């Protein structure tokens, strides 16, 4: 196997190793080199001064090239573990009608979910949308029509949904590393994460069954990785480490940072330390005095690391393994043991001498060598994130892949939106026609044009280093557009007589009761009423003349108001139409109200009532006489609205003699009796005219003659 160049760019130090994997599956360090930054160019694993970091990297690279007598062009590096971010996102695609989900559509949907995860990350991290590299994703669930399914490809439905878990690294972290490497002519071929790399070297696979906490204490951060059941299951980070201890010494004794760093390292070796402060004064101080000064800071560091371990592990692990230059901080292991409540012998510092299967460069001994060795192992085993550089429409795009990179992932990394992968179909037009839903589809969109190295490609095609991709976005289809005449049936123009007037009878189109023209455009959501020119019902609807409509007729009969509901009747060609019927060219149609005549009223006059000798007597009606405005009318006379009628049963009032047949007289009349007649108490004669309600008396009485008057 070819040697690899492993580079650990730390906050305080840059260390490089050239390693190889032997046939017996062991690893050999062919060469090593390290240097410190001249000034603070790295903070918390992030490059802040590209030129200064590049200077240190170039120094290490040059030294290694002299040792192995080979030019180094490719390198494996590590990013801070705290930088890795994961997001779960769910996206859904709805179609108006069922479609078959082909692989291209499913892949585009998955990439859209990755974009959604990126938007979620941007929202939660308050970062720019393109501030993260997607280093890989996995689809964790798929649904078709609401039912979870193992594979969407080939399924048919209207609604598809996918859930993905996507992994991201900040672009600033990756771009900073790439910029540094580019300054010294190195190409990144593999990227791993610092806690993953450190764990591969510090904890053998057979020990990962135990619940262990690996703590990589550097200058700016303390990265944490936890093992259980054979694998690493959680990662964390504490944003403080060895630099805080150094700064406390510098503050107390007014020292330059480099001098303070040397004092901190000498604490492990000397009982008494001497140094010169920033003002030139010579200072001599005992080890115990400095330990008293730094103890509060180390206590805080130990507490923060312990709290993060307890949070991630949900309990105290079996043991703590310390690596990194900061792990040599005085008092740290003792305080971790005390804080976590575990025996002192369960907190230890891992060094190169205890790593099995690592040979070469015996001078590398300290805990700071563990992470660069792990970076080398990860690259040799192919466990790092593979790094590709491809071209998308002429722009160089870095690709990280947890699995083999595809064209779709390259387009995603180039910032091309998934919606442009497949041209969307034009929007459909939906409307109601006489109560039935109608759908007019838009035109289909055209898919994106993809070429890799000049040859047609697909989204799922795998990529190789320096492949050139030409991408032309798919074009969306046109939205549906249509006129009324395009969806309505053909018709023949008809001429008819409507209530005596010649008219053209053609279909009519209404939208929300408003008449529209057949050449007008149909808009989405229209409710269309179409009235053809084929039958009587549609004609009456056009004329808004409905057979069930009634009109009210009001007349007065002898002063009493009467109302009648009159039906409207339709006559076709002078025949009463009963129900619907076809309408032909030349037909005559009339609408008439059903007529009522005087005879339909069946009017009867009231009889005259008289009182004769105390009994009620009805004088029979002689004849029926109906008049309007003083003029007689016949029973065939049509009724008109507002007409006033009077009905009478007598041509004239009766005279007294006409009622005598209704008087009950005695069977015999005695001699000398005379008939006496009165009306309402007044003497009357046979010819006296009577009025209804008059009171009559008719009796036979004996006449008494006054003889005195005769004398």
pLDDT for residue 462: 77
In eight-state DSSP terms, residue 83 is G
102 pLDDT higher than 50: yes
Q: Measured between alpha carbons, how far is 300 from 322 in angstroms, rounded to an integer? A: 17
Left, alpha or beta for 496 (phi > 0: left; psi -120 to 50: alpha)? beta
Beta strands in 256-411 (DSSP E): 272-276, 282-286, 319-323, 347-349, 358-359, 385-392, 395-401
Q: What share of the chain is helix, strand, coil (3-state, %, to 5)?
A: 25, 40, 35
The CATH label, of 3.40.630, 3.40.1620, 3.10.20, 3.30.70, for the domain at 388-472 is 3.10.20
Q: Of 227, 203, 207, 105, give the one whose Cα is nearest residue 157.
A: 105
Segment among 95-99, 159-163, 346-350, 418-422 with least mean pLDDT = 418-422
For the chain, what is the mean pLDDT?
82
pLDDT for residue 669: 61
Q: Measured between alpha carbons, how far is 163 from 141 in angstroms, rounded to an integer? A: 5
Secondary structure of 618-681 in the HEC alphabet? EECCCCCEEEECCEECCCCCECCCCCEEEEECCCCCCEHHHHHHHCCCCCCCCCCEEEEEEECC
Q: Measured between alpha carbons, how far is 283 from 307 in angstroms, rounded to an integer? A: 37
319 pLDDT higher than 80: yes
Left, alpha or beta for 142 (phi > 0: left; psi -120 to 50: alpha)? beta
Tell me the β-bridge partners of 286: 272
Q: Is 524 helix (H, G, I), strand (E, B) or coil?
A: coil
Backbone angles phi, psi at 348, to 5 degrees: -135, 160
Q: Measured between alpha carbons, how far is 142 from 109 in angstroms, rounded to an integer? A: 11
Domain boundaries, the chain: 388-472, 481-594, 604-637+648-710
Q: Model-level pTM?
A: 0.54
In eight-state DSSP terms, residue 327 is G
Q: Is 117 helix (H, G, I), strand (E, B) or coil?
A: helix
- 427 Cβ contact list (under 8 Å, min separation 6): 442, 479, 480, 524
In eight-state DSSP terms, residue 689 is B
Work out the pLDDT band at 161, boundaries 50, 70, 90: very high
pLDDT, tens only, 557-585: 887 888 877 777 788 888 888 778 888 88
Q: Measured between alpha carbons, how far is 483 from 588 in angstroms, rounded to an integer? A: 33
Q: How many other CB atoms are found less than 10 A from the CB of residue 263? A: 22
Percentage of the chain exceeding pLDDT 70:
91
Most confidently predicted of 164-178, 318-332, 619-633:
318-332
pLDDT for residue 706: 53
298 vs 634: which has the higher pLDDT:
298
Mean pLDDT in residue range 34-53: 79
638 vs 161: which has the higher pLDDT:
161
- 186 Cβ contact list (under 8 Å, min separation 6): 5, 57, 61, 72, 73, 74, 75
Q: Of 227, 101, 117, give the one whose Cα is nearest residue 167.
A: 117
Q: Is 481 helix (H, G, I), strand (E, B) or coil?
A: coil
């Amino acid at each position: 196997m070819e040697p690899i160049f492993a580079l650990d760019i730390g906050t305080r130090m840059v260390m490089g190793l050239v390693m190889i994997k032997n046939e017996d599956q062991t690893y050999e360090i062919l060469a090593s080199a390290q240097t410190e930054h001249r000034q603070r160019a790295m903070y918390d694993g992030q490059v802040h001064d590209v030129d200064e970091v590049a200077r240190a990297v170039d120094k290490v690279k040059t030294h290694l090239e002299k040792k192995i007598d080979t030019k180094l062009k490719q390198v494996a590096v590590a990013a801070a573990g705290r930088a890795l971010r994961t997001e779960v996102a769910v996206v859904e695609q709805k179609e108006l009608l069922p479609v078959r989900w082909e692989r291209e559509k499913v892949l585009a949907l998955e990439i859209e979910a990755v974009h959604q995860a990126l938007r979620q990350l941007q929202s939660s991290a308050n970062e720019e949308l393109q501030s993260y590299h997607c280093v890989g994703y996995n689809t964790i669930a798929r649904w078709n029509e609401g039912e979870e399914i193992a594979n969407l490809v080939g399924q048919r439905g209207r609604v598809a949904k996918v859930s993905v878990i996507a992994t991201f690294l900040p672009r600033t972290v990756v771009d900073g590393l790439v910029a540094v490497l580019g300054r010294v002519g190195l190409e990144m071929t593999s990227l791993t994460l610092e806690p993953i790399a450190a764990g591969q070297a510090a904890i053998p696979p057979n020990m990962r069954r135990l619940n262990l906490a690996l703590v990589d204490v550097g200058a700016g951060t303390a990265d944490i990785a936890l093992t259980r059941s054979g694998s690493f299951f959680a990662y964390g980070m504490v944003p403080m480490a060895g630099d805080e201890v150094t700064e406390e010494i510098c503050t107390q004794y007014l020292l330059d940072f480099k001098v303070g760093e040397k004092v901190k390292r000498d604490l492990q070796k000397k009982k008494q330390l001497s140094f010169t402060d920033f003002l030139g004064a010579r200072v001599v101080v005992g080890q115990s005095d400095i330990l008293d000064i730094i103890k509060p800071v180390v206590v805080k560091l130990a507490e923060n690391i312990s709290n993060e371990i307890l949070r991630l592990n949900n309990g105290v692990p079996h043991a703590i393994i310390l690596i990194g230059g900061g792990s040599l901080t005085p008092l740290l292991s003792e305080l971790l043991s005390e804080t976590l409540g575990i025996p002192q012998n369960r907190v230890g510092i891992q060094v190169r001498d205890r790593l099995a299967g690592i040979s070469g460069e015996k001078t590398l001994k300290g805990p700071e060598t563990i992470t660069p060795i792990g970076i080398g192992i990860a690259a040799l085993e192919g466990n790092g994130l593979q790094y590709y550089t491809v071209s998308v429409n002429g722009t160089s795009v870095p690709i990280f892949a947890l699995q083999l990179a595809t064209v779709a992932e390259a387009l995603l990394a180039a910032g091309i939106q998934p919606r442009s992968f497949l041209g969307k179909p034009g929007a459909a037009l939906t409307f109601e026609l006489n109560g039935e839903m109608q759908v007019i589809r838009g035109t289909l969109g055209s898919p994106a044009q993809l070429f890799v190295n000049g040859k047609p490609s697909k989204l799922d095609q795998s990529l190789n280093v320096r492949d050139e991709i030409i991408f032309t976005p798919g074009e969306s289809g046109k939205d549906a557009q249509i006129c009324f005449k395009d969806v309505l049936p053909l018709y023949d123009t008809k001429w008819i007589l409507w209530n005596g007037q010649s008219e053209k009878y053609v279909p009519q189109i209404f939208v929300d009761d408003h008449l529209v023209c057949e050449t007008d455009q149909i808009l989405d959501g229209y409710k269309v009423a179409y009235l053809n020119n084929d039958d009587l019902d549609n004609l009456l609807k056009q004329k808004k003349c409905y057979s069930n409509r009634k009109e009210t007729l009001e007349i007065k009969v002898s002063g009493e108001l009467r109302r009648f509901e009159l039906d409207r009747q339709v006559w076709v060609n002078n025949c009463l139409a009963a129900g619907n019927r076809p309408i032909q060219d030349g037909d005559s149609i009339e609408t008439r109200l059903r007529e009522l005549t005087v005879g339909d009223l069946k009017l009867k006059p009231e009889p005259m009532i008289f009182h004769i000798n105390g009994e009620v007597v009805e004088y029979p009606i002689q004849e029926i006489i109906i008049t309007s405005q003083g003029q007689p009318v016949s029973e065939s006379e049509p009724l008109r609205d507002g007409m006033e009628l009077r009905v009478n049963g007598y041509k004239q009032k009766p005279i007294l003699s006409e009622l005598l047949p209704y008087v009950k007289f005695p069977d015999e009349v005695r001699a000398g009796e005379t008939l006496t007649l009165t009306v309402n108490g007044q003497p009357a004669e046979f010819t006296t005219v009577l009025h209804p309600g008059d009171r009559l008396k008719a009796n036979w009485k004996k006449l008494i003659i006054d003889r005195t008057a005769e004398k």
